[in-house]
Amino acid sequence: MIERVNMDTRERIVVLTQGVHHPYDVKYFNGFLYWTDWATSSLKVSELSIHHESAHLIHSFTTLPYGLAINHTMFQDQSHVGVAWMKERCLEGDGCLNGGQCQDIKNEHGRVVKIVCSLPPLQIRAQIVAVFGYGYEKDQDGDCAPIDVTSMEDENGKSLVEKNEPKDQSHVGVAWMKERCLEGDGCLNGGQCQDIKNEHGRVVKIVCSCEIPYEGHRCERLNPEKALAAQLKASPRPLWITSFFLLLFITFLIAAFIISYRYQNVLK
C-alpha cells in the first residue's frame, strides 16, 4: 500500500492499496499518483480524485525501475532554484504568475530553505512555469503561453507534427493517454488526439491537435489573438463594408452641418 504521513502529528492515512505491490519511488502531480513498482517491474498511475480507482499500467521494464521524475510543463522541481534569486523575483512581483503567491519554506531552525508558489483555488497546479521556461514562456500580457516549437522530427528531419504545434514534453504514457482519448478527455476544448508514430509504425506518443483559438499541450489555453482573428474571419460582413458605411455616416454628418450653417446665414 501507499500511505500519506503528517510529519507534525505522525498521522498515517492509506492513500492507495489496489494494484500496489512493491513501490520504490512515488511522485504526485495534478491529482495523479505515479510510482515505480519492483514487484511487476513497471511504472503505474492512479487518479486519486476517483474513489477506489485502480492502478493503470503505463510502461513495463525488463529490469527493476528506480527513480521517477515528472517531465511536464505544469510540474516544476524548484530544488535547483536559489532562495536569493527567487526572493528577488518575488519582490519584483514576477516570482509567481497567474495569481500565485510566494511562500517561504523553512527548516527546523527557522531558516528559509526554499520559496515556492501557492496558487488560489480553481487555478491550475503550476508554479512559475513561464519563468523557468518548461515549454511555456511569458507573453506581453504576463500570461503563460506555450512555446510554439516543433520538436518531433523523423530520421530525415521532416516534422511529424504541424507547424506551430506546441512542444510536447508530456510525462503521460501512450497507454494512459490513449485511455483518456477514448474517454473523450485527452484533449480539451474540442482538440483531437493525434498519434505520433515512428518508422516502424508504432505509436510512440499521443499529442493534441487543437481547435482555433486554443493552444497548449492539452488545448487548455485560449489565445486572445487567435480568438480575435477567428471572430473577424467568421464575420458575415467584410471589414471594408463596415468601413464604407462608417465613412458614409461621417460624410452625412459633415454635409448636415454645412447645410445647417448656411441656412442660419440665410435667415440672418
The answer, yes or no, to whether residue 150 has pLDDT greater than 60, is no
- pTM higher than 0.95: no
Write the DSSP assignment of 109-151 as a string of letters.
Answer: TS-EEEEEEEPPTTS-S--SHHHHTSSEEE-TTS-EEE-----
Q: Which domains can be identified in the chain, with CATH numbers?
A: 2-60 (no CATH), 70-147 (no CATH), 148-246 (2.10.25.10)
- Residue (of 145, 104, 100) closest to 127 by Cα position: 100
| Residue 172, pLDDT above cutoff 70 | no
* Residue 210 burial (10 A CB sphere; 0-12, 13-18, 19+): buried
List pLDDT tens digits, range 53-90: 678 888 888 888 877 877 665 555 444 456 777 788 78
Backbone angles phi, psi at 34, to 5 degrees: -115, 145
pLDDT averaged over the chain? Answer: 72
